[in-house]
Amino acid sequence: MNQIVFEIFKWYRKNSRNLPWRNTRNPYKIWLSEIILQQTQIIQGRAYYEKFVDNFPNINALANAPEDRIMKLWQGLGYYSRARNLHKAAIIVRDRFKGKFPENHAEILKLPGVGAYTAAAIASFAYDAPYPALDGNVFRFLSRLFDIDAPIDESKNRTIFMNILQEMMQGQDPATFNNAMMEMGAMVCTPARPDCANCCVAAWCEAKKQNTIALRPVKVKKVAVRRRYFNFIFIEYNGGFYVQKRTGKDIWKNLYQLPLIESIGPLNEKSIAGELQSLIKGKTLLKPVFDKSVRHQLTHQTIEASFWKVHTDTPPDFQNDDIILTNPVKFKKLALPQLIANYLLHL
Ligand code: SF4
């Protein structure tokens, strides 16, 4: 085991990528990078990380910012609950820890949006605490290196992987160890085409010996994808148009969208006019015309979006007072789901 770790460290020292959050011990910046990088590619995440550090140089600046501003900066990154949790956690650190990021692993783990992996990453990178960071890259790398056939998506199997990591980490620098293991998974032992010819631990790789590389890691659960039909109505009035803030417990909470009619299947012009009428108190008759349809893929949902347009000379009296009038200048300051932003920017 020692020789394997030695080779991984040697490879990491020569080949690691120079990433801004690796050149700091500042727990705020490390936490920020870890939250941004959950479910996000490094290239995209890096631009957001730099934008957040520029706008909020410390955790108090982030805590004191209005949530709408944070959501706007997060726009396009997806998984918006991360941005809401980022703000909640910053407020907790400001109020409960006087603006100093907690050092204790158990306290870090209690922050909103911080799970086992993120807490271990922060504790090791910022404070040298010996907690192995087990992310998807490390799961895959270990599954292959030791030819482990225990499914990685069954929580009971986490212990198998954690025990191996604990043993490998003993006597090593925790930050370098975690970084090196993740980097091996991200750069060498990649999902589809692992670079076994240049892998520093190929001589010890059990999956290579057993010819099971393509079968590792094992996953048993299938992700159920839900199909939804969203009809967005662009209602134009007096040079402006209407938007609505999403408030329910659903995707895109606290982001702005065009007034929405969700249906169980595609709607035609007659049915959309009837549905729209139910959103309006008065007798204003609106007959939207179909504009375009877009399929928008999220991890667990396929959104079949139809965009409809209608012009009115009378401001509609909406049943729901969260539908408000905006204009082509003001809407650019609102945090929007990427689907809506793309539509409005190309009008
Ligand atoms: Fe992964 Fe190939 Fe290295 Fe094995 S030899 S650890 S499969 S890259």
| Annotation says 34 is catalytic | yes
pLDDT at 172 over 90: yes
pLDDT at 164 over 90: yes
Mean pLDDT for all residues in the chain: 93
Is the dihedral angle over the CA atoms 157, 159, 161, 163 positive or is it negative?
A: negative
Closest ligand 1 atom, CA of 196?
Answer: 2
Average pLDDT over residues 168-189: 96
Which of 52-56, 183-187, 217-221 has the least mean pLDDT? Answer: 217-221
Dist. CA 335–CA 67, nearest whole Å:
10
297-345 tens-digit pLDDT: 988 899 999 999 999 998 888 888 889 999 988 998 999 999 999 999 8
Residue 24 near residue 127 (C-beta atoms within 8 A): no
* Ligand 1 first shell, C-beta below 6 A: 141, 144-145, 188-189, 194-196, 199, 201-202, 205, 207-208, 213
Dist. CA 340–CA 294, nearest whole Å:
10
pLDDT at 282 over 80: no
Which of 13-17, 221-225, 253-257 has the least mean pLDDT? Answer: 221-225
Confirm whether pTM is higher than 0.75: yes
118-144 tens-digit pLDDT: 999 999 999 999 999 999 999 999 999
Considering only CA atoms, which residue is closest to atom 1 of ligand 1? 189
Considering only CA atoms, which residue is closest to atom 6 of ligand 1? 145
Instruction: Calculate how far, in angstroms, residue 4's C-alpha sits from the geometric centre of ligand 1.
Output: 12
pLDDT band at 11 (very low <50, low <70, confident <90, very high): very high
pLDDT band at 87 (very low <50, low <70, confident <90, very high): very high
Report pLDDT for 74: 93
Q: Per-residue DSSP letters for 272-341?
A: HHHHHHTTBSS------EEEEEEEEE-SSEEEEEEEEEEE-SS---BSSTTEEEE-TTGGGGS---HHHH
Report pLDDT for 277: 84
Q: Look at 32 and 77; give whichever has higher pLDDT.
A: 32
pLDDT band at 264 (very low <50, low <70, confident <90, very high): confident
Closest ligand 1 atom, CA of 195?
Answer: 8
CB under 8 Å, gap of 24 or more: what pairs does 67-76 form? 67/254, 68/254, 68/334, 68/335, 71/254, 71/255, 71/335, 72/333, 72/334, 72/335, 73/48, 74/48, 74/335, 75/255, 75/335, 75/336, 75/338, 75/341, 76/338, 76/341
Report pLDDT for 62: 97
Q: Look at 265 and 174; give whichever has higher pLDDT.
A: 174
Q: Ligand 1, residues 11, 190, 199, 210: which to mutate, most atoms within 8 A of Cβ?
A: 199
Instruction: Calculate how far, in angstroms, residue 126's C-alpha sits from the geometric centre of ligand 1.
Output: 29
Do β-strands 301-311 and 256-257 pair in parallel, antiparallel, or remain unpaired? unpaired
